[in-house]
Amino acid sequence: MRHRYVWGLFAVAGLMGGATQAQDLREVIAAAQARDAVLQSASANRDAAQENIAITRSRLLPQLNYQDTRQQLHQTTTQSTSAGPQVRDFDGVSRSQQLSLRQGVVRPRDVAGYLAGQAQAEYGGYKYDSALSDLWSRSVSAWLDVLGARTMVQAYQQTLKAVSEAAKQEAKKFDRGDGTRDARAEAQAQLAQAQALLTEAKLALAARERAYVLLTQLEPKQLDKRQLPHEIATVLTEANREELWALVSSVGPELLAAQSVESVNRYRMHQAASDHLPTLDVVASASRAQNDSTNTLGATYGSRQVGVQLMVPLFSGGGVEASRRQAVATYQASVADRESLLVKLENQFSNDWASQAGLLARAQAARSLWEAAKDQRRGVELGLARGLRNWGDLSNAELSVARRASELVTLQLSLFKTQARLLSLVSVQAPLWDAWLVRMDVASQP
C-alpha cells in the first residue's frame, strides 16, 4: 500500500507540472521494465521455478492409470493323445483393460522433494526481485548520465565565445605588432582545447543518449526540461543507514535467494537420506480381460484388488550412501556461500556508504569552488566592460568555470550512482527507494 501511495505522489507531481512536463523517473523505470531483457529472463525463470511446486506435489497425490490392450489372436494348440495328436485352432480378439490407483502413505523422499520445490520457487521470486531492483538502479543511472552529459555540453559551449574572442584579439595584437608569437599561440591552443572538450562532451552525450534509448526506448529529447539534481536533494542520514542495513541484512533479495538455495540443498540432503527408508503405498486395481491367456480362451473375466505395497531398501551397492554424502557436502557449501555473501554485502554496504558520504562533502566543496569561479568571471566581465580586462582574462575565467562545473558534475554523478547502488541491495518495495526517487525527480525540475 505504501508503495502505491508514493508512486501516486509521482503522478500528482506530474500533474502539477502541467501537460508539457518532461518524463519523470516513474515513466523511465516503467519503460525499462517493459523492455529489459535481463528482467524478462528473470521473470521467465521465476515462472519456471514456480512450477516446481506443482511437479513435486504431484508425486504426493493419487496416481491413476488406465491401460487398454487389444490385439488379434491366432493360436494353434497341439495335444498328444493315445489316439494321436489333436490340433485345435483359435482365432479371436484378445483384450485386457486395467484401471490402477496408487496413493503414497509413507513417502519421505517425496515430502522432502515437495519442500525443496517450494524453496526453488522462492528462489526464483527473490532473483526476480533482485533483477528488478538492479534495473531500477540502471534506469536511474542512464537518466542521470544523460542529464550530466548535457550539463557538460552546456558548460563547454559557454566557453567558446570568450576563448574565440581571446584568440582573435591576440591575433590582431600580433598583426599590429603589439602582441607576441607565444601569446598568440597560447590563445590558439586554448581555443583548440575548448573545441576539443566540447566535441568530447558532445560525443559522450550521444553515447549516453544511445544507452538511454536502448534501455527505455524513450526519446532523450523529452528530458530537455530536466536538469541534474542538486547534491543535497538526496542526503542519506545516519538513521537511513541503520534502516537500510537492517533491510539488506534481513530481507535483501540476494541474501534471501542465498537462503533459498540453502533450503533447497537442505531438503535435498533429507531426500538423499530418505533413500534408506521404507515406503508404503496403498494400491488398488480393477481389470477386465478376454482371451488373454491359454486358460481363458473363449472366456471373459474381471478382477478387483485392494492392498498395500511396502518397499524396504536393502542394498544398492553403496550408491545411496554416496549420494547422501554428496548432498551433505553441497548443503555445507551453500551455508558457507550464504555466510560469505553476507560478509560481502556488509563490506559493499560499508564502503558505498562511506563513499557516498565523502562524495557529498566533496560535491559541496566543488559547488563552492564553482560558485567562486563564477564570481570571478562576473568580476572579469565587469572589468572587460570598463576596459580594465581583456578577452584573454575572460577566456581563462570561462575555462576555470567549465573545469569547476566538470568536477562538480562528475562528483554528483558518482554520488547519485553510489546511492542507487546502495538502494539496489534491497527490494523496490522498500519505502526508502520510493522516497529517494521522489526527491530525485523533484530536484531535477528547474
Q: Which three cell numbers stand for residue 303?
A: 478382477
Segment (H or E) for 122:
helix 108-176
> Which SS3 state, helix, strand or coil, does residue 106 take?
strand
CA-CA-CA-CA torsion for 197, 198, 201, 207, nearest 10 degrees?
Answer: -120
Alpha-carbon distance 138 to 380, whole Å?
A: 42
Q: Is the pLDDT of residue 433 over 50?
A: yes
User: CA angle at residue 72 from 66 to 77, to 5 degrees?
Assistant: 120
Percent of the chain with pLDDT strictly greater than 90: 74
Query: Domains of the chain: which residue ranges?
Result: 2-60+108-277+314-443, 64-106+279-312
| HSE (side-chain half, CA atoms, 13 Å) at 40 | 7
Supply the pLDDT for residue 293.
63
Supply the pLDDT for residue 431.
93
Average pLDDT over residues 138-157: 97
Average pLDDT over residues 106-124: 96
Contact present, 260 and 120 (Cβ < 8 Å): yes
Q: In what order do the strands lie in the sheet with 279-290?
A: 63-79, 86-106, 279-290, 300-311
Of 57-66, 84-93, 254-263, 417-426, where does mean pLDDT reach its minimum? 84-93
Average pLDDT over residues 160-174: 89
pLDDT confidence bin for 9, thresholds 50/70/90? very low
Q: Is the pLDDT of residue 155 over 80?
A: yes
Alpha-carbon distance 122 to 45, whole Å?
A: 11
Architecture per CATH, domain 2-60+108-277+314-443, reads as: Up-down Bundle (1.20)
Supply the pLDDT for residue 37.
96
Q: Is the pLDDT of residue 138 over 90?
A: yes
pLDDT confidence bin for 292, thresholds 50/70/90? low
Q: Is the pLDDT of residue 98 over 70?
A: yes
Supply the pLDDT for residue 110.
95
Supply the pLDDT for residue 3.
47
R_g (Cα) of the chain, nearest Å: 38
Residue the block writes with cell 575555462: 399
Q: Which three cell numbers stand for residue 407?
A: 568536477
Number of C-beta neighbours around residue 320 at 10 A: 16
Alpha-carbon distance 346 to 361, whole Å?
A: 23
Supply the pLDDT for residue 81.
77
Q: Which residue type sits at 9? A: L
Q: Is the pLDDT of residue 290 over 50?
A: yes
> Which SS3 state, helix, strand or coil, does residue 12 take?
helix
Average pLDDT over residues 288-310: 80
Greater model confidence, 23 or 402: 402
pLDDT confidence bin for 84, thresholds 50/70/90? confident
Q: Residues 339-355: pLDDT tens digits?
A: 999 999 999 999 999 99
What mean pLDDT value characterizes the chain? 90
pLDDT confidence bin for 19, thresholds 50/70/90? very low
Q: Residues 387-431: pLDDT tens digits?
A: 888 898 999 999 999 999 999 999 999 999 999 999 999 999 999
Of 22-26, 66-70, 212-216, 336-340, where does mean pLDDT reach its minimum? 22-26
Q: Residues 189-243: pLDDT tens digits?
A: 999 999 999 999 999 999 999 999 999 999 999 999 999 999 998 888 888 899 9
Contact present, 124 and 297 (Cβ < 8 Å): no
Average pLDDT over residues 119-148: 97
Percent of the chain with pLDDT strictly greater than 70: 93
Average pLDDT over residues 97-116: 95
Distance of CA 187 to the CA centre of its chain: 51
Residue 170: burial class (beta carbons within 10 Å; 0-12, 13-18, 19+): buried
User: CA angle at residue 202 from 208 to 158, to 5 degrees?
Assistant: 125
Supply the pLDDT for residue 20.
41
Supply the pLDDT for residue 87.
74
Q: Considering only CA atoms, which of 69, 56, 38, 102 is closest in space to residue 306?
A: 102
Q: Taking the model in full, what pTM does it have?
A: 0.84
End-to-end CA gap in the chain: 30
Supply the pLDDT for residue 8.
45
Supply the pLDDT for residue 23.
74
Residue 8: burial class (beta carbons within 10 Å; 0-12, 13-18, 19+): exposed
